Structure 1
């Protein structure tokens, strides 16, 4: 194996192989990626697929990690895992099916299969985190499946927003997920329940944990993800409260600015900034458990060094 790695012909052949695979992936998935990015930026994609707009930062970050690990990848011995071939075949079938959801999922399936096919389990472990980022940012049908279960969160947001507005002196009536303010009805719809912001905050939290080398620290991981959840839910409650106030007070321009305009994007950026601040706070805290002390003290050694006698 060492002689093969030092063989210029072998290195050239392997580089050509990787170049061809990279070119094939670009040819197959460049139009799909352009469609995703255009839909996320210009909001021309379905509402459910907007839940995965964190891919705008996740995909470049995953590519950056792969680039940093390129030397480690080259040092891994070439080995083929049979599951890799199965995933490559499954990914090809998903792509050729022509069904939107399956074509989307074919990207992470093929990438996972390639890692197993080229470098086996060690290659999969090396590229594990970039693959997780790709899987979590690939548009799929998950928002459709969990949307019916978001009614509890919608009701909670509506009641808290109504409570805040009532104590602010407004005449508000709350019924399930509906608020009536100034004779105007406001609905906390499923896509207004904050699931998109929650997914984004948790996704960015994972990126921060990896970037700060805290992903192996269970206390920091749990604390950051719980804090990101609290920040996301609280920020969404405040946003829905403001939207209800603007709509009920006939401030339609402010309502449109915060609901569909760039005000919503600015609000989301501020929420992610708070997640970053929370990460910095956790970095300054000593949350890593200290090693346990031995249960019994070690016996004292003979100071004269007569243990061999």
Structure 2
């Protein structure tokens, strides 16, 4: 009887976890599928496309949670007072029917569950996966930022015009507009490279965490700064190419790079540069650290 009681006691937490997982799937599977379909087929709002890095971030977050499952089980069962509050807030957001709030209810409920079952240690353990989920959750952030990108738009337009002038093209720059070949090309707010910048920062955080370099402030700072510069430079070159294609009447090439899979290919190649960049920075600071240790010795 005692053995049977122990087996039952062990099964209760497992059954409870499965039940909660089932409820979460029922509630959020349609939402996640909506995000996935919108990101893949680009039939979601422009603002939500800014979060398409969730295509790699959400599976990676789930993978990290799976890797940490044994550490999670070893944590003591502690209920943090903030847990029920976040669950309540998440529930209210979900039932509100407002798309923005329904989206935000997902990370809120996940964080609430961590605090409900394992307290602050559980939240700290799952902190990075939750961060990835939060930054992949579509919000109105890009829409709110767009009005403040005018200086960046003007800088991109001016730089693209300067580059094309060096190749003999007659380009006139007026604010965020470029006039070339009797045509006008506007560097709109959504062409300012924010999407590429968000994706670059997101992927950079993933790489820093995966390689363990996130614990080094020097490596993290240098890597993020250089990654941002690469992203801005890549976007300037992309806008330069778009201006060239549109100004010379190559509409097929323009659409391919602007709206087609060419833009995704270009962004993917740019993101691949982050891998050797991080390796180079790691090697450099490892060498510097060894040299400093030898000097002190």
Question: What TM-score bracket applies, with the shorter chain setting the length?
Answer: over 0.9
Matched with 1:30 is 29
Q: CA deviation at 1:166?
A: 0.7
Partner of 1:106: 105
Question: Mean Cα displacement is larger for which, 282-291 or 169-178?
Answer: 282-291
1:160 matched residue in structure 2: 159
Deviation, 1:289, is: 5.2
Name 1:133's counterpart in structure 2.
132
Mark the CA change 1:169 to 1:291 in structure 2 (over 3 Å): closer, same or farther.
closer
Q: Deviations over 1:70-116 (max 9, x none)?
A: 00000000010110000000000000000000000000000011100
Offset of residue 286 of structure 1: 2.0
Partner in structure 1 of residue 222 of structure 2: 223
CA–CA distance in structure 2, aligned partners of residues 146 and 183 of structure 1: 32
Quick check: 1:209 aligned with 2:214? Answer: no
- Indicate conservation of the 8 Å contact 1:161/1:238, yes or no: yes
Match of 2:173 in 1: 174
State the Cα distance separating 1:290 from its structure 2 match: 7.1
1:296 is aligned to none
Runs of 4+ displaced beyond 3 Å: 287-293
- The 2-side partners of 1:93 and 1:279 are apart by 42
RMSD between aligned residues: 1.7
Distance 1:193 1:118 in 2: 43
Q: Does 1:266 align with 2:272?
A: no
Query: CA 1:256–1:131 in 2, change beyond 3 Å: closer, same or farther?
Result: same
Structure-1-length-normalised TM-score: 0.91
Q: Give 1:236's aligned residue.
A: 235
Preserved contact between residue 84 and residue 112 of structure 1 (Cα < 8 Å):
yes
- Structure 2 length-normalised TM: 0.95
Q: Which residue is equivalent to 1:83?
A: 82
In structure 2, list runs of 5 or more residues that go unmatched. Answer: none
Cα distance in 1 for partners of 2:242, 2:204 equals 27
Q: Does structure 2 retain, via aligned residues, the 8 Å contact 1:115–1:123?
A: yes
Once the two structures are superposed, residues 243-298 of structure 1 have per-residue CA deviations (whole angstroms, 9 ceiling, x without a partner) of 000000001110011001111010000110111221121122225757999xxxxx
2:219–2:285 Cα contact (<8 Å) kept? no
Distance 2:9 2:197 in 1: 47
Query: CA shift at 1:7, angstroms?
Result: 3.2
For 1:286, the equivalent position in structure 2 comes to 285
Deviates more, 1:271-280 or 1:107-116: 271-280
Question: 2:282 matched to 1:257?
Answer: no
> 1:146 matched to which residue of 2?
145
Larger Rg: 1
Q: What is the alpha-carbon distance in structure 2 between the residues aligned to residue 291 and residue 8 of structure 1?
A: 57
Partner of 1:12: 11
Task: Give the total of aligned pairs.
Answer: 290
Tell me if the contact between 1:227 and 1:275 (Cα under 8 Å) persists in the aligned partners: no
Q: Indicate if the aligned counterparts of 1:108 and 1:135 stay in contact, CA closer than 8 A.
A: yes
Greater Cα shift, 237-246 or 7-16: 7-16
Distance 2:290 2:102 in 1: 47
Task: Give the Cα separation in 1 of the matches to 2:47 and 2:106.
Answer: 19
Aligned counterpart, 1:116: 115
SS of aligned partner of 1:94: helix
Q: Which has the higher helix share?
A: 2
Deviations 1:107-166 (A, max 9, x none): 000001110011000000000000000011000011111111111111100000000001
Match for residue 68 of structure 1? 67
Counterpart Cα distance in 1 of 2:143 and 2:176:
19
Gaps of 5+ in 1: 294-309
